[in-house]
Structure 1
Amino acid sequence: MLAMKPADLDLRRSVAYAAPQWIGLVAASAGLSVVLSAAGFPAALLLGPMLAAIGFGVSGAAIRVPKAGFLAAQALIGCLVAHAVNASIVRTLMADGILMLAVVGVTVLASASVGWLLTRIRLLPGTTAAWGSSPGAAAAMVAMAEEYGADPRLVAFMQYLRVACVALSASIVARLFVGDAPAGLPAPVGAPEPGAVLATLAVAALGAWLGRRLNIPSGAMIGPLVIGATLHATGQASMSLPDWLLALAYAAVGWTVGLRFTRATVRATLYALPGVLAATLGLIALCGVWAFGLTFVLPIDLLTAILATSPGGLDSVAIIAVGSRADVSFVLAVQTLRLLVVIITGPLVAKWISRSLG
């Protein structure tokens, strides 16, 4: 009998070790999704996997969603949102772009103030707080933070703690507004037809590739969204996906966020957790106040305003918006604008905070 190569042996051990964890995570995610769905949460299929993954990550699970899987999930969500978004998003930006930019500016300024304060009181080492407080573009901020000497683990913890809090709080608010409406997958995708499904998958693949090729922020989601919305609005194609595939995309996003909460990272930030959590919730509350004020200036409802001004988590906020009664076009317009502003200003603000505090 031939001896097994070390590489093959390591692969078998890795699969044998990961398989039970994935089975447990899927089971826990399904259970929590059923409970949250029964409670009427619009994003139950996102929140269930995210909460389960947080539990598994903190408990020491070593499994991770492959990068290709997460990008594919973002592309599918982009196609889902494209069904509800059309040329009105451009009209919205043209009509209220200045006011939207002001709202985004307030969010960025508030986040910079939080980062400055946390850095000032030395709650976290070095410039970690400055990078971790950026209201969006979590993956980009983590990557750039490492280049500038900040601890990428702590930056990731702050960023994904904010994303998790935004998803949870936005879903709770949506639940209060939606009432007892169905909390499963959103209805707009309709009954999947083979031709429409193939066209949607082609849009997802092409849009994700093009978005990343052009280095567009969140390009794996924005690319399919723009292409799909254009084709859908002009009647050239219909976006349609089977429910099981959308559920898997929702779960992939939730697992990616949740599994970022590792035992080592939580242990390293345990002493700073109360301050970081307070700052995160304070930022969300401040955005909520601005959302309330926005309803007096623009003809939008409070749910739409809250989702539009939520500080981060474009993909999760998009899922919640599509599954609730919010104005998806307005929400995506403000969220996309905020993402672009954060990508441009985030590194500048973080470096300014670092220099100002020495």
Structure 2
Amino acid sequence: MSASSWFSLSTWSRLRQWLALLLLAGGSGQLLKYLELPAGQFIGPMLVAITFGVAGAHIRLHKEAFRLSQGCIGLLAAHSMTLAVLTAMSESWHLMLVATVLTVGLSTLVGLALVRFGGIHPSTAAWGTSPGAASAMVSMADDFGADARVVATMQYVRVVCVVLIGALVSHLLEAPANGSDLHATAVAQHGFNLFDLGLTLATAVVGVVLGMRIPAGALLVPLLLGGSLQLSGLLHITLPAWLLAIAYGAIGCYVGLRFDRPTVLYVWKRLPAMILGAVSLIALCAASAWVMARLLGQDFLSVYLATSPGGLDTMAIIAVDTHSDVGLVLAMQTLRLLAVIFTGAFFARLVIRFSAPIKPQDRQDSPMTKHS
């Protein structure tokens, strides 16, 4: 076997690709956890899966496995939802609303900058920079005439940047990276048994099924359902460490495998602008988080994760893993998710309206001409 074919996974059988992915993803996740990197069991598999996708692997994680993993993360977050947390959230709803509007506004400015200086089509830039609800934005972008391939790439490039920078910030702030261990302790206090585990998994499955037609419903519905049952005393949420590791790894692999070689080559010329736009949006949100933290009297890390323009599931993982204020993070991320879904079309039109006319040569090179 030649060196080129060895590094090209397209020549490997599906079984061989799956075995290599499971071995390397699991090993990297455990290694990063051992090194106490926040969300290491998610970041390790994601980076391995990105490498596999770019190297030509043709395997994909089933959508239902991804949804069930989101359901487990939703229940893990629900474990932190108490009456005290809900009361604190209700007292600061006005500041959370301001933060949501600010984040959406900043994403619009970044979208305009990508149009003017990055050579990206206005509609594609608008949907690609929408902060959160990546899968929903891709679907809506296609309906509104944007290139869904570029939008998907922009969304997931930002997710990767958000996760890596979030983990770095957590590490620099010396946040603990043993959220799953803390949860295991809580489980032990309730008393682990197969009945509680079975009821927890059943709640996750029911929540995922009920949330199939809702954006991010695979995480939100189990979160609401599990939180309600826990507050009522009908459910002791039981999620063993091995189950959480599988859920983290599945979400990481699902995101990472979307970065296949054709997609990366397709947007290669504009990839630096996409990364710069994502980092700029993260930096602007971090600046607003610093101000919000002082106004709310909260720690910076919790507010940073709450305002960070990443996915709801990934931010929930980091928040739980670093012992941040999970209630605040979930509340603000959910509020922004709904805001983005309901106002996405309006802000897309706004970006298009205020964008400079595209030059003829740019229009010929634009993916929109190929997509239409």
Q: TM-score, normalised by structure 1?
A: 0.90
Classify the secondary structure of the residue corresponding to 2:92.
helix
Q: 1:337 aligns with which of 335, 338, 341?
A: 335
Residue 224 (structure 2) pairs with residue 226 (structure 1): yes
1:161-172 to 2 correspondences below 5 Å: 161-172=157-168
Residue matched to 1:275:
273
1:60-75 to 2 correspondences below 5 Å: 60-75=56-71
1:114-263 to 2 correspondences below 5 Å: 114-121=110-117, 123-125=119-121, 127-178=123-174, 181=176, 183=178, 185-189=180-184, 190-191=187-188, 192-212=192-212, 215-263=213-261
Classify the secondary structure of the residue corresponding to 2:13.
helix
Query: Aligned equivalents of 1:296 and 1:182: distance in 2?
Result: 24
Query: Aligned equivalents of 1:92 and 1:55: distance in 2?
Result: 42
Classify the secondary structure of the residue corresponding to 2:315.
helix
Question: Size of the alignment, in residue pairs?
Answer: 341
The answer as to whether partners of 1:74 and 1:315 remain within 8 angstroms in 2 is yes
Query: 1:129 Cα deviation (Å)?
Result: 1.1
Residue 107 (structure 2) pairs with residue 111 (structure 1): yes
Moved more, 321-330 or 26-35: 26-35
Residue matched to 2:7:
none
Q: 2:19 aligns with which of 9, 17, 23?
A: 23
CA deviations 1:19-38 (Å, max 9, x no partner) are 11111111221232233123
The answer as to whether partners of 2:132 and 2:337 remain within 8 angstroms in 1 is yes
Superposition RMSD in Å: 1.8
Q: TM-score, normalised by structure 2?
A: 0.87
Query: 1:271 Cα deviation (Å)?
Result: 0.8
Q: 1:325 aligns with which of 319, 323, 326?
A: 323
Query: 1:122 Cα deviation (Å)?
Result: 5.7
Query: Aligned equivalents of 1:338 and 1:66: distance in 2?
Result: 27
Moved more, 311-320 or 29-38: 29-38
User: Percent identical across equivalent pairs?
Assistant: 43
CA deviations 1:205-224 (Å, max 9, x no partner) are 11112222xx4331111111
Shift in alpha-carbon separation, 1:205–1:299, aligned structure 2, 3 A: same
Classify the secondary structure of the residue corresponding to 1:295.
helix
Query: 1:300 Cα deviation (Å)?
Result: 0.7
Query: Aligned equivalents of 1:102 and 1:182: distance in 2?
Result: 30
Q: 1:40 aligns with which of 36, 43, 56?
A: 36
Residue matched to 1:7:
none
Moved more, 91-100 or 296-305: 91-100
Tell me, which stretches of 5 or more residues in structure 2 are unaligned? 1-9, 358-372
The answer as to whether partners of 2:114 and 2:125 remain within 8 angstroms in 1 is yes
Query: 1:303 Cα deviation (Å)?
Result: 1.0
Letter in structure 2 aligned against 1:144: M
Tell me, which stretches of 5 or more residues in structure 1 are unaligned? 1-13
The answer as to whether partners of 1:89 and 1:332 remain within 8 angstroms in 2 is no
Query: Aligned equivalents of 2:51 and 2:178: distance in 1?
Result: 23
